[in-house]
Amino acid sequence: MAKAQPKSMTKGDIVDHLATKLGTTKKLATDFLEELVQLSYKQAKKGFTIPGLGKLAVGKRKARKGRNPQTGAEIKIPAKNVVKFKIAKQCQDAVYPPKN
C-alpha cells in the first residue's frame, strides 16, 4: 500500500503562517502574497527571482510531433513559449540534502 502524501499548504495556510510569523494581520499577509504573485506575472518575461527559492522565466518549446489519442493520427504540435520555474540550489539542498 502506498504511503499517504503529506497535505500541501493552501493559500489560507500560507497567509496564516505569514501573519503569525510576521505579527501582522491576515489581510496584510494576503495583500503581500497577492502582490508578490502579480509582480512575478509581470516580470516573468525578464526573469523573476526569489532568492533561495528559484527563478521564474520564459523558455521556448520546440515544435514536435504528437498523436491524437482518439484516432492515433499524427499531428504537428507548434513551437511555443512556456513559463518555467528553476529551483535554486539552496532550496533543492534544503528539501533533499546532498548525500556525502
Is residue 23 located within the same domain as residue 50?
no
Mean pLDDT (whole number) for 73-82: 95
Q: Which residue has the cell 540550489?
A: 89
Q: How far is CA 55 from the centre of its chain?
A: 9
Mean pLDDT (whole number) for 16-44: 96
Amino acid residing at 20: T
What is the predicted pLDDT for the residue at 2?
A: 64
Q: Considering its fold, how many domains does the chain have in total?
A: 2
Distance CA 80, CA 62 (A): 7
Q: Which domain holds residue 34?
A: 10-43
Is residue 25 located within the same domain as residue 61?
no
This prediction has a pTM of: 0.74
Is residue 79 located within the same domain as residue 36?
no
